[in-house]
Amino acid sequence: MNSLEKINSKLGEIWISNEIQDNVLVFDTKKDKERFYIKNLLNQFDSVNNLEIHHNRDGSPYLNGKDSSFISISHSKDYCAIYFSEIQPVGIDIQLKNENIIRGKDYFINQNELEQFPNLTIDEASYIWCSKEAFYKRCYGKIEDLKEDVSIVEIKHSENLIVLIYQTVYYHLTFRFREGYYLVYTID
């Protein structure tokens, strides 16, 4: 049994699936499992076009049979999400809640963020991580130092909005926490 969800954003569509582990299925690698779940998600939402994921030379994904110029893909345990847009590059990240994320904060949180969030919570650290990952995907991985070059300047819980700055330009992402996972995606 799995749950499927479709979200409409101003830039496109997001498809999310929570695939419950099937003990009958055995995968050689984590990557094989992710490919299987993404293919299954694509078929459940669009069984007509026989969609398949391919990758450009820079590693960015694209689909055959779908009129979306830009896509972003994320996996976390048994969750997968795909973000489609015909307007501009997009980024998405999905992460299951991990109580240990604070221990790894030195890997991805810069000094400005530590000052902005002096009593860093698990939720704040998770939203910072997911925001940077989603934004990195939006930029096709062309950010030299993700920790230092991208800074989260505000998390507006009442609006489910995250504001980050990169090369003196402000960008916005939206977020939510549901069923034990964080979902963050770009909206401009």
Strand (E) positions, 11-167? 12-19, 52-55, 61-64, 70-76, 79-85, 92-96, 150-156, 161-166
Please tell me the pTM assigned to this model: 0.85
- Using 50, 70 and 90 to split pLDDT, how confident is the model at 10? confident
Tell me the domains of the chain and their CATH numbers: 2-87 (no CATH), 95-186 (3.90.470.20)
Is the pLDDT assigned to residue 134 strictly greater than 80? yes
* pLDDT one-digit tens code per residue, 13-51: 887 877 655 555 666 776 777 677 777 777 766 655 666
Any idea how long the chain is?
188
Q: Tell me the percentage of the chain whose pLDDT exceeds 90.
A: 49
* pLDDT one-digit tens code per residue, 102-118: 999 999 999 999 999 99
- Give the model's pLDDT for residue 176: 93
The neighbour count for residue 89, using CB atoms within 10 Å, is 17
- Using 50, 70 and 90 to split pLDDT, how confident is the model at 159? very high
| Overall average pLDDT of the 75-101 stretch | 89
Mean pLDDT for the chain overall: 85
The neighbour count for residue 104, using CB atoms within 10 Å, is 12
The neighbour count for residue 11, using CB atoms within 10 Å, is 20
Contact partners, residue 49, CB within 8 Å, separation at least 6:
65, 66
